[in-house]
Amino acid sequence: MTTLTLIGAPTDVGASVLGASMGPDALRIAGIARAMQARGFDVRDQGNLAGPGNPQAEPASGFRHLTEVAAWNRAVYEATHAALQAGQLPLLMGGDHCLAIGSISAVAQHCRARGRRLKVLWFDAHADANTPESSPSGNLHGMPVACLLGHGPAQLTRLAGPDAPPALQPGQITLIGVRSVDATEKRFVNEHGIEVYDMRTIDELGMRAVMQAALADVDQDTHLHVSFDMDCLDPSVAPGVGTGVRGGPTYRETQLCMEMLADCGALGSADLVELNPALDVRNQTAELAVDLLESLFGKSTLMRPQ
C-alpha cells in the first residue's frame, strides 16, 4: 500500500490576495483524507507546517516578503524531502504557488540522488516566470518557475545547498492552461525554450492531444510531479481562487487531464495550491479539488477498469 503524505502549508505570503492560507483546512473539510483512503492509500496527514505570518509589506529590492517566503519554502522543502526519503508520496496542500519552489526543489534533489529523470507538469493560468527585475508587483507567487530554473534569490534557488544546481532545466517543465502572461514572461519562456500548451493550443488541438504530447517522454524511469494551481480552471468552475482568469479549461477537460496522468503510472509527488476559501462559494472549489485529486490518484469512470 502506497503511503500518501498530506503536507499543509497555510500561507498566502507570496500572493497578491489574502485567503490561500486557509486552503489546507478547506481541503480537509472537503474530505481529502477519506477520498484518498478510498483510492487505497495509507493516508498520513502531517498537519500544517509552521511559518511566519503575512506582514502585508511593500516590495523591497524587487520582492514582497522574501524572508517569509524563504522560511515557508525551507519548511516545505524539508517536509517533502523527508516524505520522499521515507518512500512516501507527498501531496503539498497550499497555500500560494510560491510554495512549489520548496516542494519541487526537494523532488529534484531526491531524483538527482537516485539517478531518476524528473518531469514537472505545471497547470496554471499564469506562466509564473517573472523575475525581480520584471515583476510588476514583487509578489513571489508570480516567480516560482523562474526561481526553479535558477533565476532568483539564493534563498530560493539554492534550497538544496549552496553548491546545488538549479532545481530544473527548461526541458523538465511543461506549462499547461496558460492564458495570462506578462510581456517579459513571454520573452523568458521563449528564450529558455520552455514547453507551453496555452489555451489557444488546447482549443485548437483538444485536451487529449495536448496531454498525449505533454506525456510523450514519460516512461518507467520518470518521476512525474504535478503542480496544480486551481486558477488553471475557468473561474466559472472554480471561483475560490485569488487570481482567476476567464477562458480556462472546463471541468471535463480537467478531469481528462487527471485521468490521463493517472493512466501514465508515473506520478510521484504533487502540489495543490491557490485554493482561496475566502472567495469560494460553500467550499465548492475545495470539493472540486478533491474530486480532481481522486481522478489524479486513480479514480476512473464506471465503464473503465479501476
234 Cβ partners below 8 Å, 6+ apart? Answer: 246, 247, 248, 249, 250
Residue pair 224/218 in contact (Cβ under 8 Å)? The answer is yes
User: What distances in angstroms separate CA 98 from CA 21, 41, 68, 151, 243, one per listed residue?
Assistant: 12, 27, 11, 14, 14
- The catalytic residue positions are 97, 124, 126, 128, 141, 229, 231, 274
Task: For residues 101 and 76, give the distance between their C-alpha atoms in angstroms, rounded to a whole number.
Answer: 9
Residue 100 CB-density burial (10 A; 0-12 exposed, 13-18 middle, 19+ buried): buried
Q: Which of 294, 271, 288 is nearest to 120 (CA)?
A: 271
- Reduced to 3 states (helix: H, G, I; strand: E, B; else coil), residue 284 is helix
Residue pair 9/51 in contact (Cβ under 8 Å)? The answer is yes
170 Cβ partners below 8 Å, 6+ apart? Answer: 149, 192, 193, 194
Task: For residues 235 and 274, give the distance between their C-alpha atoms in angstroms, rounded to a whole number.
Answer: 13
Task: For residues 169 and 148, give the distance between their C-alpha atoms in angstroms, rounded to a whole number.
Answer: 8
Q: Which of 170, 156, 180 is nearest to 120 (CA)?
A: 170
